[in-house]
Structure 1
Amino acid sequence: MYLLKVSNYGGVSVKALKGIHHVSALTAKAKENVHFYTEVLGMRLVKKTVNQDDTSMYHLFYADEKGNPGTDLTFFEIPQAGRTYPGTGSISQTSLRVKDDATLDYWVKRFDENDIKHSGIIDKFGRKTIEFTDFEEQRLALVSDETNEGVAAGTPWEHSPVDREKGIMGLGPVRLTVAKPEKTHNVLTEVLGFENIGTYEHDGKTVTVFSVGEGGTGAEVHVEASEETRERPGRGSVHHVAFRVEDEEELRKWVSFITEKGYANSGFVERYYFKSLYFREPNGILYELATDGPGFESDEPFDTLGEKLALPPYFESQREEIEAKLKPIK
């Protein structure tokens, strides 16, 4: 396995991260959000739960057929959220993987039929891509897995309104936009074990590509250098990106590793569906490290994932109070 060893910090050894775990964003309208991501993009709502740090808001998870690690795009609902003013210190684009180049032709037609703004098919770092936005200007892209040789994709849900062969298979590269790129580059390579594998130009700005673990579409972070003002987040912005860790034992090693590196962090956090660690890098990007398991079938069977409000056991005694604060979503 890939190993990182830092003898100057107590000799803590950790296995390399396995790729992207999930991306969590903000929405002001949960009902419309569910419609867009399930009926238009055809992803499966695998978990309808609450933000464990604020149970008055929904936390919605869209993914492949069962919410495999690396396939989850999640949303916190904040009804009063204002618009996003894009800028630096942000996760400025989330991409979603599809099978091959030909599949993008299907999505161009689908986007046109649904009046979704998009770029058409473009080339980005050797891959065919379509950039688009959702109804709240969430910045998204579809990326072809035609040439992917890295982290395996997930499996689209067979009951999706999108043909299974054309469906979204998981998360692709995330793009960060930062004012001081060298600081983010350093965290990715010297702390998280990513490798610098190249650059490309995007809207006149240089983007540096970093890869981790097995690499490929599901294991890249693209860092865009920008001198814009700092982003003011709101609906349509991204809250954090999470990277994959094998299991709880490995995550606890990462807690020690990040602490010894001198970064303030959350310590070990129990999320029930996975275990987590959070810390913020110098440009303000919030990173999470999350375990691959236990997964979303911990409290619901595969066939009915996401159909009811799911609460971790430690919130179950508060179900009546929590449900009273939430507007039902069908």
Structure 2
Amino acid sequence: MEPQEFPGLEDAINEALAQDVPGSAVSSLEVLEGGHSGITLAAKKTDTDGVAEVVIKVAPHGRQPKGRHDVLRQAHILDALGGVDELVVPQVLTRGSGVWTFYVMERCAGEAAEPVLNSSTRVFDKDVVRARADAAARMLGVLHRQPITMVAGADSELPDIAAELARWAKVAAAAYEDDAPGISALPDALRATMPSTVEASVLVHGDYRLGNVLFDGVTPTGIIDWEIWTATTPGVDLGWFLAFCDPNLFPGVGAPVEGMPTADELLETYYSAGASHIADIDWFHAFGRFKLAAVMAHNLRRHREGRHVDPFQEQLPPTIATLIDSARSILDGGR
């Protein structure tokens, strides 16, 4: 996909900027590769202060901007969280809808890295790893104590964990059983051990992990990729986040990283930010592992069927099996 495949988009953006940020304009649109969360472009924004980098999220042309492609919904929560102390999100500069639906945000400084998964290609300083992980855990606690009412349209009813499980069970059902042995039995095992009561709904990122937090050194500069944010129990975010910090879950594709805090240490940091205690955290550990196994197994099937060819997917079966075994062990009373 090339920038020229977006006819009229640059003009639409500059028309919106003329209203919201007078005297500024974008140019040099470039597709940012990576991920599967819609269309992301980089561009240069020029105004009286000079040239700055921006990021543009665009809904696919000709498709209803729904689900992860509902980019204005993403801009909506960024607007709401922009003024929250101890929480950093990109600033939305403008947005528009019509032939193209989009929003433009500042490009935050720094990098987003997943130390456990990126350790094969770089060496991480242990103090940097710990500082980033602690900062991410603390910000997640800050996010989860924000009132849902700050985001118009967020559902403040009790979380529906059964519906959340059913959603990811559909993803797991799309995997080949040979690629994910035992995954088809996990939804029933999770249902049988589901918490009888859960914490009240909070604002949940949906894909919260170190790879979605930008850092300039050890200073967080922006939480990105809000495509699947929602309002539900905080354990949904925590089980996912903590799984990515455990090198034992990623044989062959991850490795231990010196400085990475343990899950219990990260939970302590999370609670220190004022978040409510989660009574059934072990169940959410298992749920997070199940979700990750389901996503990986689904992506592996898409690769093998030629729908999204990515040779890296062939390295995932040992990790998928480990995630499934770990989830089952937790549900059977393990830790």
* TM range, smaller chain: under 0.3
**Structure with the higher strand share, 1 or 2:** 1
**Structure with the higher helix share, 1 or 2:** 2
What TM-score comes out, normalization by structure 2 length?
0.28
